[in-house]
Amino acid sequence: MSAAPSAPVGVPAAAGGPSAEQARRQFAALLGEFRRSAVLVPLTGGGADSGGFWTADHGGIRWILAFSDEGALARFALARGEGARPWDYQSVLGARLLDVAVPAVAKDGVPCGIALDTADEQDAVLFPPVTGVVPDAVAVDA
């Protein structure tokens, strides 16, 4: 997956960066690529049948953690100091995460989005719980 746009959606870009419209187009392309891609999602517990997707709460939002490949997941594990233990994960299509998993997690009233490759400072991407990213029923701005 390519890097995130240099300006967040809806925020004017700094001088010399892409315009807000260019940033929106870049994000839309990145979102489309994510929806079509299989990503790795760590599981809680001891395997596919014993736990759900690994999430982290930050800023009032529950984030499902996803990784573009095993290397990105390994960097996350190492950053947590947990590189020596086994990590169970499931391969999931990005569209399924956004359209099915996010509403399932958000049903308890906590907004939910996807955090991709969080250990990779340059390539980390957040897909927030907003209209156009997640289903309108669970978007915080709907």
pLDDT at position 16 over 80: no
Q: What is the mean pLDDT of residues 73-101?
A: 95
Contacts of 40 (CB under 8 A, 6+ apart): 66, 67, 68, 69, 70, 72, 73, 89, 90, 91, 92
CA distance 38 to 142: 27
pLDDT at position 87 over 60: yes
Question: What's the confidence (pLDDT) of residue 4?
Answer: 39
Residue 94 burial by Cβ neighbours in a 10 Å radius (0-12, 13-18, 19+)? buried
Residue 32 vs residue 19, higher pLDDT: 32
User: At 15, is the pLDDT very low, low, confident or very high (cuts 50, 70, 90)?
Assistant: low
Q: What is the pTM of this model?
A: 0.82
Q: What is the mean pLDDT of residues 78-90?
A: 94
The pLDDT tens digits for 95-140 are 999 999 999 999 888 999 999 999 998 999 999 999 999 999 999 9
Question: What's the confidence (pLDDT) of residue 107?
Answer: 86
Question: What's the confidence (pLDDT) of residue 30?
Answer: 96
Q: What is the mean pLDDT of residues 63-70?
A: 97
pLDDT at position 47 over 50: no
CB 142 within 8 A of CB 128: no
As a whole-number percent, the residues of the chain with pLDDT over 90 amount to 73
